[in-house]
């Protein structure tokens, strides 16, 4: 009986800890691109309701390789550069969105993801935690077309 009560108390404590320590991933989507595209952008929101800063250090998917990028403006031109991490401050939110931070998928395992397809993404954080979310491939017609050039991080 004591073992049962102790196990129940430990389970309740771990449940409340995991609920308070989990980041919330939502609104994940991938921009539909032509079949000849070499890359597709990935967007999502990360909410950090915890009292600790967290860092996104990677995104994985069976559909292809993913790098984390940031769009920056320099001398009137927009550039994308790879970044090692995205900081999510305590009790804050980070948006991976057009013209900002985003994932960039390439080296597709089964071709360019098609509109309507759902891709499982696994986000990797600096503390070793991994969280998965599903991103739907959609055509975004409201996003302003901006000429963006890939540059190496300096």
The confidence score (pLDDT) of residue 124 equals 97
pTM for this predicted structure: 0.78
Domain that holds residue 131: 23-150
Mean pLDDT of 22-31: 94
Q: How many residues does the chain have?
A: 154
Query: What is the chain's mean pLDDT, rounded?
Result: 83
pLDDT more than 90, % of the chain: 73
Total count of domains within the chain: 1
Confidence class of residue 141 from pLDDT cuts 50, 70 and 90?
A: low
Residue 17 forms part of a structural domain: no
Does residue 141 sit within a domain?
A: yes
Chain Cα centroid distance, residue 103: 6
In a domain, 99, yes or no: yes
1 lies in a domain? no
| Cα–Cα distance for residue pair 91/88, rounded to 1 Å | 8
**12: in domain:** no
Q: What is the mean pLDDT of residues 24-31?
A: 95
Q: How far is Cα 115 from Cα 15, in angstroms, rounded to an integer? A: 37
Q: What is the CATH number of the domain that holds 82?
A: 2.60.40.1890
How far, in whole angstroms, is CA 151 from its chain's centroid?
21
56 vs 144, higher pLDDT: 56
Instruction: Provide the pLDDT for residue 37.
Output: 96
Whether residue 8 is contained in a domain is answered as no
> What's the distance, CA 65 to chain centroid?
13
| 28 found inside a domain | yes
The answer to whether 69 touches 80, Cβ cutoff 8 Å, is: yes
Residue 81 forms part of a structural domain: yes
Nearest to 98 by CA among 143, 37, 153, 47: 143
∠ CA 137-96-117, rounded to 5°:
10
Q: Average the pLDDT over 18-27 and give the result.
A: 72
Residues 6+ away with beta carbon under 8 Å from 59: 42, 66, 68, 103, 121, 122, 123, 124
- 79-103: buried (b, 16+ CB within 10 Å) or exposed (e) per residue? ebbeeeebebeeeeebebebeebbb
In 3D space, the residue among 82, 56, 86 whose CA is nearest the CA of residue 69 turns out to be 82
């Amino acid at each position: 009986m004591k073992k049962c009560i102790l196990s129940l108390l430990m389970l309740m404590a771990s449940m409340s800890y995991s609920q308070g320590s989990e980041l919330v991933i939502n609104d994940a989507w991938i921009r539909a691109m032509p079949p000849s595209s070499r890359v597709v952008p990935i967007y999502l929101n990360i909410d950090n309701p915890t009292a600790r800063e967290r860092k996104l250090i990677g995104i994985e998917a069976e559909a292809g390789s993913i790098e984390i990028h940031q769009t920056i403006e320099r001398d009137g031109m927009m550039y994308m550069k790879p970044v090692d991490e995205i900081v999510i401050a305590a009790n804050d939110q980070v948006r991976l969105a057009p013209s900002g931070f985003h994932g960039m998928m390439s080296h597709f395992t089964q071709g360019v993801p098609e509109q309507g397809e759902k891709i499982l993404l696994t986000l990797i954080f600096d503390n070793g935690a991994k969280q998965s979310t599903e991103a739907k491939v959609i055509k975004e017609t409201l996003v302003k077309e901006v000429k963006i050039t890939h540059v190496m991080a300096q």
